[in-house]
Structure 1
């Protein structure tokens, strides 16, 4: 903005503005090249140019810092409700469709008038545990510092819960550790900082700091289909709740249950928006197994969770070198685990039912038939040529 009032003296101007003798510039000097004065020496001009470049760099950095860019990766049971959770958090009134392989979407959130929008990248792994190799695609050294994982577990299928949870978390953790190692080769300071950040969710005076093993990046466990789960027997609900509380606390993660209830949708949105946009998450805590759990990271403790739900004699019978193994064995005793059959030995990926496409498959069938006919015709031609050569 300029104002043609040349009689205004430079002494009357706001800080950071100047009068070039013709018009008053209301644009800060850092935003515009400073005009040299006749009295300026060569050194004065050089110093001014350096200061202008430094100011421009600082302003660009501050403006860039205003915009956050985060990634959230949803993994979990097949048909567990991952897509529905994403759509709810993005306020999209759409019918969720089965996820094929690895899918991506994003959301924006404006922080204020004329300010850059925060961007959240949402990745979703389909197929349960059948596509673990794809975990390496969204998690990279470039985005690891702002990356979070959401594990969605189907509470209505407790007999499939542990294998899915174990496979997905182990595969994700192994890849994250590999990325951290790669980062450490070129920037050990950054790698160490990422490793230290995982402890921020746990108070420095928490009694369990020496007993847990935090996940290398922020982790949220969501138990879906609570509307079905709440009709289970009280003892079964208690075992599942205590087990998931232990797992989430051991990994330094947050835990919550969700369903179609509007109140639970709001809590889910709060937890996801905290990971996606850095917003404050719900601080309320619910530890009662007769109610939906919602436990922010660092709000639980081993003393509140208690020991695994088994007698002392039973505990002595279970083999387990770690607390996690012990809880796993106790849980499997209550709920014998069934194979989810996510991994199928499909030699030809084109025949994998999870990638079925009616029009494409129809054309593929037609081309396969044409190929078989071509092979038969070619085989006849070669045999005819062979007979002719022998006759000669």
Structure 2
């Protein structure tokens, strides 16, 4: 029991000693921290999934930029709690530069990405997926390149961990370039294609999956590859032969110039669902400019602060350029 005279520092030391001391079985208590970045289509259901995983009964609100929350869970009674950091990128593909803030060299070993794609907006789906995954992959690869110079063994271990999702005898072993960190792709709003509500059961599956990434809970053993039902495919269990060719005639496929199966699927998909332009996808409304929120005194003060900010940025431009967000 802490004494009344204990300082905050004393309590912090006691907490660390408690975490590092052996438990009843003589084993040290392993406490971990995991981080997950949720990204995807605007209004695609990312916040709903996070709230459900954290068992919070809140009404989801639109995510304006990059938002953070966390959850804590104990694996059993009277043990220290593990911590999971949840980041959510708003704005679809309009705020790509913010991806580098949550993913750093300090947490790359325990980071995962959840990409939520809105199935009700097929014209945005492929472009959103491609842009978000490309920027994230590039940023992670830059971090791993840096890590190779300081700790090559660890960099190799991180890369090999993802490659291990595919067995060496997998037919696509040489064709696949694994995403450099754990990645889950969730197709949201599937229930609108069925005229009965299945959203609760699907959210439960998503919750089990996220809890595995965040807190190390057991993986779901569910597998579903029937395209007439919600798909649930763990990494490494599908193959190009099982997926099959895209739904197009042989003559149409023959006219398409593609170097990989993924490129071929993209061309057939975009022929069926022409993608929206980049301008349409990046049209993020600034709530500060929304007339329904107008307040004269607040707006005057905001304008003044904006001027001060611009002056500060001009005066401190050199310092801003020197800030390191693991972007090199």
Shorter-chain TM-score: what band? 0.7 to 0.9
Q: Which residue of 1 aligns with 2:115?
A: 151
Q: Which residue of 2 aligns with 1:329?
A: 267
Displacement after TM superposition at 1:124 (Å): 0.3
Q: Which residue of 2 aligns with 1:289?
A: 227
Q: Which residue of 2 aligns with 1:30?
A: none
Displacement after TM superposition at 1:109 (Å): 1.1
Q: TM-score normalized by structure 2?
A: 0.79
Deviations 1:213-264 (A, max 9, x none): 1100000000000112347xxxxxxxxxxxxxxxxxxxxxxxxxxx862221
Task: Return closer, same or farther for 1:368/1:104 CA change in 2, 3 Å cut-off.
Answer: closer
Q: Which residue of 2 aligns with 1:301?
A: 239
- Is the Cα contact below 8 Å between 1:74 and 1:149 reproduced in 2? yes
SS at match of 1:123: strand
Aligned counterparts, 1:216-235, within 5 A: 216-230=180-194
Deviations 1:49-69 (A, max 9, x none): xxxxxxxx8969x636x1121
Displacement after TM superposition at 1:177 (Å): 0.5
- Can you give the 5+ residue segments of structure 1 that lack an aligned partner in the other structure? 1-56, 232-258, 347-351, 372-392
Aligned counterparts, 1:245-264, within 5 A: 261-264=199-202
Q: Which residue of 1 aligns with 2:255?
A: 317
Q: TM-score normalized by structure 1?
A: 0.66
Q: Does 1:208 align with 2:141?
A: no
- Greater mean deviation of Cα atoms: 362-371 or 292-301: 362-371
Deviations 1:337-361 (A, max 9, x none): 12362324x9xxxxx5245587686
Q: Which residue of 2 aligns with 1:268?
A: 206
| CA–CA distance in structure 2, aligned partners of residues 141 and 159 of structure 1 | 35
| CA–CA distance in structure 1, aligned partners of residues 213 and 253 of structure 2 | 37
| CA–CA distance in structure 2, aligned partners of residues 200 and 114 of structure 1 | 35
Deviations 1:279-332 (A, max 9, x none): 122112111121111111112111111012222211121112332222111111
Task: Return closer, same or farther for 1:322/1:69 CA change in 2, 3 Å cut-off.
Answer: same
Q: Which residue of 2 aligns with 1:63?
A: 28
- Is the Cα contact below 8 Å between 2:53 and 2:210 reproduced in 1? yes
Q: Which residue of 2 aligns with 1:105?
A: 69
SS at match of 2:98: helix
Decide which of 81, 91, 106 is 1:127's aligned counterpart.
91
Runs of 4+ in 1 over 4 A off after TM superposition: 57-60, 354-361, 367-371
Q: Which residue of 2 aligns with 1:343?
A: 282
Task: Return closer, same or farther for 1:310/1:110 CA change in 2, 3 Å cut-off.
Answer: same
Q: Which residue of 1 aligns with 2:297?
A: 363
| CA–CA distance in structure 2, aligned partners of residues 337 and 266 of structure 1 | 31
Task: Return closer, same or farther for 1:216/1:354 CA change in 2, 3 Å cut-off.
Answer: farther
- Larger Cα Rg: Structure 1 or Structure 2? 1
- Is the Cα contact below 8 Å between 2:163 and 2:178 reproduced in 1? yes
Residues paired across the two proteins, number: 281
Task: Return closer, same or farther for 1:369/1:291 CA change in 2, 3 Å cut-off.
Answer: closer
Q: Which residue of 1 aligns with 2:286?
A: 353
Aligned counterparts, 1:164-203, within 5 A: 164-203=128-167
| CA–CA distance in structure 1, aligned partners of residues 237 and 136 of structure 2 | 24
Relative contact order higher in (CA < 8 Å, ≥ 6 apart): 2
Task: Return closer, same or farther for 1:69/1:356 CA change in 2, 3 Å cut-off.
Answer: farther
| CA–CA distance in structure 2, aligned partners of residues 318 and 213 of structure 1 | 23
| CA–CA distance in structure 2, aligned partners of residues 370 and 227 of structure 1 | 47
Task: Return closer, same or farther for 1:157/1:126 CA change in 2, 3 Å cut-off.
Answer: same
- Is the Cα contact below 8 Å between 1:75 and 1:126 reproduced in 2? yes
| CA–CA distance in structure 2, aligned partners of residues 368 and 212 of structure 1 | 50
| CA–CA distance in structure 2, aligned partners of residues 356 and 230 of structure 1 | 38
Deviations 1:122-146 (A, max 9, x none): 0000000010000000000010011
